[in-house]
Amino acid sequence: MKKSILKLAGVSFVMSLAFTSCELLDCKTCVPVSVTNGVETRGPGVLTCGDELAEKESKYETYGNTTSYYDCD
């Protein structure tokens, strides 16, 4: 009886970890982009999920003649 309770607790714990993974959230690959005087420079893409994704998708900044944003697909 005690072993089956421990097994159930262990399986429940593992499943709770699995359901909080990035696969179940809205995830995209975000690439930082900078445009200076019409010349576009792109950085490496990074898998981004959840609140961090929403933040990057809404981020758009201009300093002088340089505009920076994230291109998330």
Per-residue pLDDT at 62 exceeds 80: yes
Per-residue pLDDT at 14 exceeds 90: no
Residues 6+ apart with CB under 8 A from 69: 32, 33, 59, 60, 61
Please tell me what DSSP assigns to residue 18. H
Tell me the C-alpha distance between 56 and 48, whole Å.
Answer: 9
Average pLDDT of the residues of the chain: 81
CB 72 within 8 A of CB 48: yes
Residue 20, CA distances (Å) to 6, 15, 70 in order: 22, 9, 25
Please indicate whether residue 70 or residue 14 has the higher confidence score (pLDDT). 70
Mean pLDDT for 25-45 is 95
Per-residue pLDDT at 60 exceeds 60: yes
